[in-house]
Amino acid sequence: MTRDAQPRVVLIGPPGSGKTTLGRLLAERIGVAFRDTDADVEAVAGKPVSDIFVDEGEARFRELELRAVRSALAEHDGVLSLGGGAVLNEEAQALLAGHRVVYLQVGLSAAVQRVGLASARPLLVLNPRSQLKKLMEERRPVYERLAVLTVDTDGREPGELVDEIIRGLPA
Ligand SMILES: Nc1ncnc2c1ncn2[C@@H]1O[C@H](COP(=O)(O)OP(=O)(O)OP(=O)(O)O)[C@@H](O)[C@H]1O
Ligand SMILES: O=C(O)C1=C[C@@H](O)[C@@H](O)[C@H](O)C1
Ligand SMILES: [Mg+2]
């Protein structure tokens, strides 16, 4: 891996925190390419994330996701959004050390509202509120530990959040 290819920003956070939405906007604003590991996995598998979970299981998805994280961290020099659960893998955690990792924090109610508005998420099919609550509580310490900057997204527009990320990042 060459440090020349280090992503400008890596966005992490739970489903509905806005990693894809803000990542795309941030990339546009700073004039760099955007990459999202969920999209990379879908391209490799040739099907949506939800179909990978159904057809091949979560373990297979996590394997493809880890490969996508490894490649993107090694190759991509723009904005990178990770899948919500990508940070659970220990190798991924180690690979993220030294990167400009931004944690998009979101409260349970806002996250439930947001994922309710978007396409199907395989981990949240049954009782999204309680699934999200459990997942957010389990992951919060990991997101916090990996981040160099944490941004609270509740009740805030994507445009202003992008401004805050740009202001808050180390040069
Ligand atoms: N700050 C915000 N305010 C209001 N709505 C938002 C905000 N950020 C994202 N959204 C909306 O919430 C939904 C989920 O956003 P997005 O897909 O970007 O989340 P994500 O973190 O990428 O989720 P996942 O982990 O499932 O990929 C989208 O409909 C998006 O338009
Ligand atoms: O939080 C998670 O574990 C996930 C989030 C999404 O980005 C996808 O990677 C997938 O739906 C799993
Ligand atoms: Mg996303």
Residue 4 has pLDDT above 80, yes or no: no
Does the Cβ of 122 fall within 6 Å of ligand 2? yes
Domain span at 9 = 3-168
Give the predicted TM-score (pTM) of the model.
Answer: 0.95
| pLDDT tens column, 47-60 | 999 999 999 999 99
Does the Cβ of 48 fall within 6 Å of ligand 2? no
Does the Cβ of 40 fall within 6 Å of ligand 2? no
Q: Are the CB atoms for 132 and 115 separated by under 8 Å?
A: yes
| pLDDT tens column, 137-163 | 999 999 999 999 999 999 999 999 999
Q: Compare 117 and 58 and report the one with higher pLDDT.
A: 58
The Cα–Cα gap between 103 and 165 comes to 10
User: In percent, how much of the chain has pLDDT > 70?
Assistant: 95
User: From the CB of residue 126, how many other CB atoms can be counted at a distance below 10 Å?
Assistant: 7
- Domain CATH for 47: 3.40.50.300
Name the residue type at position 78: G
Q: For the chain, how many structural domains are there in total?
A: 1
Residue 148 has phi, psi (to 5 degrees) of -95, -15
Residue 1 has pLDDT above 50, yes or no: no
The pLDDT score that the predictor gives to residue 2 is: 44
Q: Annotated binding residues for Mg(2+), as ranges?
A: 20
| pLDDT tens column, 74-114 | 999 999 999 999 999 999 999 999 999 999 999 999 998 89
Q: Annotated binding residues, as ranges?
A: 16-21, 38, 62, 84, 121, 139, 156
